[in-house]
Amino acid sequence: MSASLGRATASATIVPVLAAVSLCHLLNDLMQSLLPAAYPVLHRDFSLSFGQIGLLSLVYQITASILQPLVGLYTDHRPKPYSLPFAMLASGTGLLTLAFGPDYRTLLFGAALLGLGSSIFHPESSRIARLASGGAHGLAQSVFQVGGNLGSSLGPLAAAFVVLPRGQQGLAWAVPVAVVGIVVMTGISRWYQGTGHATRTATRSSSHLGSCSSCAIRT
């Protein structure tokens, strides 16, 4: 595929793809922000100590943040388009586990699943925003980031008005959010695979590895 064709493809899809990936960033970060917002509920329902709350947060942060660069490094060499809907599935499953977990150990597992979804989502989705930018990389990243920031701000409100009145099981209301994300991300993954960029492997030249900019303008 020529460079001009790659630019034309990106330009033709910049609005729907950027809008879709920003929406999914909103949904993802909304789900992620529910856990810390729900700490008072879990503290009350399970009589957790502050140390246990801290450990729950640590498990979540390890999988959501510390694991994320490793996922990004791996997908730079071996892009995984359909890891995106899987990320939403992991987050939704994590929230379900947190909503119906009968003990503290299960809560830790649910927090790990929720964080895993976030760590898988961010590297590939930010790459897609770059690919769909049509050269307007700053605009694409800004639109992508707006979705995430909005989701992070809506999560605590959702926890206050939905989770707190219903207790632990109120976390399950976010499952439809994950389902919407899975559907939208599946469509984005198809676009991503269709551009040909998802076929890059470690055997390509180093100028193509780990660079979203080169992915957007070179083939």
Q: Averaged over 94-117, what is the pLDDT? A: 95
The DSSP code for 207 is G
Convert the pLDDT of each residue in 49-81 to its tens digit: 999 999 999 999 999 988 899 988 988 888 788
* Structure confidence at residue 32 (pLDDT): 93
Please report the DSSP string for 7-63 in residue order.
HHHHHHHHHHHHHHHHHHHHHHHHHHHHHHHTHHHHHHHHT--HHHHHHHHHHHHII
Render pLDDT for 119-145 as a digit per residue (tens, 0 to 9). Answer: 999 988 988 888 888 888 888 888 899
Q: What burial letters (b/e) apply to 165-174, b meaning 16+ CB within 10 Å?
A: eeebebbbeb
Query: Cα–Cα distances in Å, from 11 out to 16, 24, 140, 144?
Result: 10, 20, 12, 16
* Residue 127 backbone phi and psi in degrees, to 5: -65, -40
Could you tell me the CA-to-CA distances from 65 to 32, 70, 122, 203 in Å, in that order?
12, 10, 10, 28
Residue 170: its H or E element = none
CATH architecture of the region 3-217: Up-down Bundle (1.20)
Domain ranges, ordered by start, for the chain: 3-217
pLDDT for position 88: 94
| Burial annotation 11-33 (CB, 10 A radius, 16+ → b, else e) | eebbeebbebbbbbbbbbbbbbb
Residue whose tokens read 């993802």: 28
Question: What's the pLDDT score for residue 197?
Answer: 60
Is the pLDDT at 15 greater than 90? The verdict is no
**pTM of the model as a whole:** 0.80
DSSP 134: T
